[in-house]
Amino acid sequence: MSAFWTLLKRDLLLAMREGSAVGTALGFYLIVVALLPLGLGPDLNLLSRIAPGILWIALLLAALLSLGRLFEADDEDGSLEVMALGEMPLEIVAVAKALAHWLSTGIPLVLAAPVLAILLNLDINAYGVLVLSLLIGTPAISFLGLIGAALTLRAKKGGLLLALLVLPLYVPTLIFGISAINAALSGFGGFYASLMILGAISMGAVVLGPIASAAALRFQMQ
């Protein structure tokens, strides 16, 4: 376990030192959410209705920007092969990578969402469910993204291919994340079921993502 925590700490420190991935993701999130009201016009009721979808979709796309670097930097400097030959299984390495991505990119995006929701006139009663749904659903983004990052490693135009592979996997997370917020907006309290399904999706991603990505990495390094 000490090797796992060392790897996690290393990736978090690298993310904080560079800062470009987090800054790019937050900047993209801000730009998308800020531009859409300008394009749709000043209809506050319309903005309030579509706010859950905009916030979730923009967050998915923003998180996607940094997924390509999950294994790329380690592959370039040869440390990925060292990890593959080490005592720690590749599945555990993948878990550390995804957890570092979620902590360094997913959490800042979640914290930015309530601030950006003000631009979309989201009902204040839905803010708690918004943050809760993002906290429950964003682990699925990082752990499912592992699969695409591993499959597109060493591929030309890997960013486009990564998006094509991963975005369909995000559809269930997107659907239940938006439905939870819409249920909170309706005022009937039916968001618990959506949150539970969202949690089940994230737990499934935490289990299956590292296994599938480790298999893909072994194939890439043959």
- Residue-wise pLDDT for 142-175, tens only, equals 999 999 888 888 776 667 788 888 999 999 999 9
Q: Contact at 8 Å (CB) between 32 and 58?
A: yes
pLDDT of residue 47: 85
Range of the domain at 99: 2-220
Contacts for 106 with CB less than 8 Å, ≥ 6 apart: 63, 138, 139, 141, 142
As a whole number, the mean pLDDT across the chain is 87
Q: How many Cβ atoms are within 10 Å of 68's Cβ, its own excluded?
A: 21
pLDDT tops 90 at residue 111? yes
The string of pLDDT tens digits covering residues 33-90 is 988 888 877 778 888 888 999 999 999 999 888 887 788 877 777 778 888 777 888 8
- The tokens describing 196, both together, are 């539970």
Q: Contact at 8 Å (CB) between 147 and 216?
A: yes
Q: Contact at 8 Å (CB) between 150 and 220?
A: yes
Helix or strand (DSSP H, E) at 49 = helix 44-64
pLDDT of residue 1: 66
- The tokens describing 35, both together, are 């531009």
Domain count, the chain: 1
pLDDT, average across residues 199-205: 95
CA pair distance 90, 84, nearest whole angstrom:
6
Handedness of CA 44, 47, 49, 55 (dihedral sign): negative
CA pair distance 40, 185, nearest whole angstrom:
21
Q: Which of 162, 157, 167, 198 is nearest to 180 (CA)?
A: 198
Helix (H, G, I), strand (E, B) or coil at 51: helix
